[in-house]
Chains A and B, each alone.
Chain A
């Protein structure tokens, strides 16, 4: 009979202590990486990009013509952000992003991706049944809205620029940052004023 798997935590610890015993991990290196991705490299950066694009038409133009440079302008660049493309939602065009083969995400602006994005369910279904998937997740898009699904199969990394709710025109950046959620920048949620 096949033996049951050891717990993930036990297996991870076995790997980590084996490497530590061989002095292969520089002191503090793991803690530094965890700190960077928990505190600095996360989706709040992307929300700043979106808010800025909503507030500043010139920035919006730069973001849509050269996403990498426009994100770098705000200080967001680095690993998994070598070529960032921003996808502009319009009243008749919606964008959703997936990585059907794994989990590619523009880390500098969206951070490490959430579990739903990495789940077999989302990866299998959204390329084939995007309208149904989006409806299930709370976005019932009218039939005249074209849905484009972007599969992150090479090195381009996508961030969705969601539609700005009309009632938020004139809001400050701080107010906008309170309503821009992570999921809207992957395209599976809309931004709402409340």
Chain B
């Protein structure tokens, strides 16, 4: 989805604040938010990491930007556990004084049911183009490379295709590729002063440039 989470290349953001000697968690609830997600994925096994990532992406954009990181984490956990029927929204709302933001509903997406490929289609040195895909669901293809051309510089192992896994689709694995894009291919204004960006992309996102 072209959501608020897909921030790469967006203008208007200001100073980056680096906190010296930042602790792992700043307070108890941050650690508990993180731990609840680990327990829900690893022990309760009620959802997978891709469903979790997508739950954060489905937050109302206003809530997403206003929330701190660990607020987003537990908002995703709460939303998924409600959607999976383990708890109810009423149970949460009744325990707080104020609004309890949750993720917006999941979109219906097309399942990619192709078999896991036997071998990688692309090799190092190949010119590839990122396909012009617009899915309303989860994807790990950032919008800033959509339709852009780059060069495969490394073939990484097969990994579960997230666009399926986040929506209960067919489990399939695909090669992932480190694709290098020159800055001028991505942004052609004078402001763009990165030299190159390497994006890690699943095979289904790519097509060969002849």
Residues of A in contact with B (beta carbons under 8 Å apart) = 2-19, 22, 24-26, 29-34, 37-38, 42, 83, 85, 98, 100-103, 111-112, 114-116, 118-133, 136-137, 146-156, 183, 188
Q: Chain B 12-52, CB within 8 Å of chain A: the 1/0 string?
A: 11111111001111010101111110110001100000000
When distances are taken between beta carbons in the complex, the residues of chain B under 8 Å from A126 are 194
Q: Are B194 and A14 in contact (CB under 8 A)?
A: no
CB < 8 Å: which of B92, B159, B198 contacts A14?
B92
List CB contacts (< 8 Å) of B90-112 with chain A.
91-93, 95-101
> Apart from A102-B5, A128-B186, what are 18 other A-B pairs with CB-CB below 8 Å?
A6-B98, A8-B71, A11-B75, A15-B92, A22-B87, A31-B35, A100-B8, A101-B53, A112-B24, A115-B19, A119-B16, A120-B13, A124-B13, A128-B192, A128-B194, A147-B195, A150-B178, A156-B178
Q: Give B residues with C-beta under 8 Å from A.
A: 5-19, 22-25, 27, 29, 31-36, 38-39, 43-44, 53, 56-57, 63, 65, 67-71, 74-75, 77-78, 81, 86-87, 91-93, 95-101, 140-142, 144, 154, 156-157, 159, 176, 178, 180, 183, 186-187, 191-202
Bound together, the chains give a CA A156 to CA B190 distance in angstroms of 31
CB distance from A184 to the nearest CB of B (A): 12
Point out the residues of chain A lying under 8 angstroms from B195, CB to CB: 130-131, 146-148
Q: Which of the residues B10, B57, B77, B187 comes within 8 Å of A15, measured between beta carbons?
A: B77
Given known pairs A101-B142, A120-B13, the reply for A16 and B32 (CB within 8 Å) is yes
* Distance to closest chain A CB from B84 (angstroms): 11
26 contacts between A and B (CB under 8 A): A5-B100, A6-B100, A10-B97, A10-B98, A11-B92, A13-B95, A17-B95, A19-B81, A22-B86, A29-B35, A37-B25, A38-B25, A101-B8, A119-B17, A121-B17, A122-B16, A124-B8, A127-B8, A137-B18, A146-B196, A148-B195, A150-B197, A151-B200, A153-B142, A153-B200, A155-B176
- Rounded to whole angstroms, the CA-CA distance of A22 and B39 in the bound complex is 14
**Chain B residue at smallest Cβ distance from A119:** B16
Contact status A151-B87, CB under 8 Å: no
Counting residue pairs across A and B whose Cβ atoms lie within 8 Å, the total is 246
The answer, among A2, A19, A115, A121, for a CB contact under 8 Å with B13, is A121
Contacts A121-B15, A121-B16, A128-B187: A13 and B29 contacting too (C-beta < 8 A)?
yes
B156 touches A155 (CB 8 A): yes
- How many whole Å from B174's CB to the nearest CB in chain A? 10
Q: Smallest CB–CB gap between B19 and chain A, Å?
A: 6
Are A112 and B22 also in contact (CB < 8 A) when A150-B198, A154-B202 are? no
A17 to chain B, nearest CB (A): 7
Q: Are B22 and A115 in contact (CB under 8 A)?
A: yes
Chain B contacts for A188, CB-based, 8 A: 18
Q: Which residues of A contact B100 (CB under 8 A)?
A: 5-6, 11, 14
Given A13-B29, A121-B15, A127-B9; A8-B157 close (CB under 8 Å): no
Residue of B nearest to A152 (CB): B200
